[in-house]
Structure 1
Amino acid sequence: MPLKTISIKTAALLFLASLAITGCKSNPNLKANKKQISFKSIEGITYTEVARTQQNGLSFNEYGYHLNPDWRMRFVSDDSVALFSPVKKTFLNFPLALGFDSVIYTNHSFLKMRHMSKDSLVFELLLAKNDSLDVGGAKVFMKFYADEYITDKLHTTAATLQHYKTQDTLFVM
């Protein structure tokens, strides 16, 4: 009798496991989200970070720490990115590791692409813990505008766009 019970439990477990595996493979939304990202359409465009915000839209966290937008970047190819060094006053090339689901790794940072166009980029900063990424953690977003978009369409400067917003001022007060 115990032998039949074990085999029925085993069969049920195998059935549920196979159902879960085939269910995940046939989900079109899951397949669509797992493509490797390509930067061919925006290669050579220089972007300046204009805002770094929390999920609530503020550039300050609950402890008053200000998230300063200070990155400038240009995608050189699908496997390298040029980041501006304020110390050396020039762009330096860094390797770019592409993951699935729009996740990239460069300059000791894991970023998830949320929006990409010739005018703007939005990344979510991901936290690395041991050997995995915490995708539900910090919820810090980095917004970049193309330098040409800032000057030609917005008719302003990156420094003006990087100023504190009204809601940041109200939060600090």
Structure 2
Amino acid sequence: MLEAHRATSFRSRWEVREDDAPLIVLEKKGWRSGVEYTLDGTAYEVRSTWTGGQYTLTSGDSELAQAQRIGRKHWTVTTPEGEYHFRRRSIWKADQEWVASPDAPSALGGIRRTGTWRGDAEARLPGMPTPHAVFVLAVVLLMWEQAAAAATGASVSS
């Protein structure tokens, strides 16, 4: 299980633990939606398109995974090893379920908020390789952050 705890309310920086042991720090760089981190001595970068509907995981010049249709009810992560399917748990919550297929009756795992104000989360993705699980967690954290910023902007302009 991965747990992400927002390190500060003023910056997009999450401390990620795996089974209660420190694993990595996800840190947003610049104005774009994305983070950088080092896992097992390998540097990774998660980058989004300007609309935030697609994210890529890269290491050096290699693209390792791509998440598409972010923010929709159903979205997918594609890797060289295969695809992972996700869906929003309900219209009322932002929690995400990992499913075998978009219409699967039950979930294999998922990502849920554990802290409403700080943006903390817990990811239960059993059997998923750690680099892919961290990528999925990062995408969901960034998606939630982007949605919160849009909601704040909408309420300020009203």
TM norm structure 1? 0.30
Structure with a larger share of its residues in helix: 1
Largest Rg, 1 or 2: 1
| Higher RCO by CA contacts (8 Å cutoff, separation 6 or greater) | 1
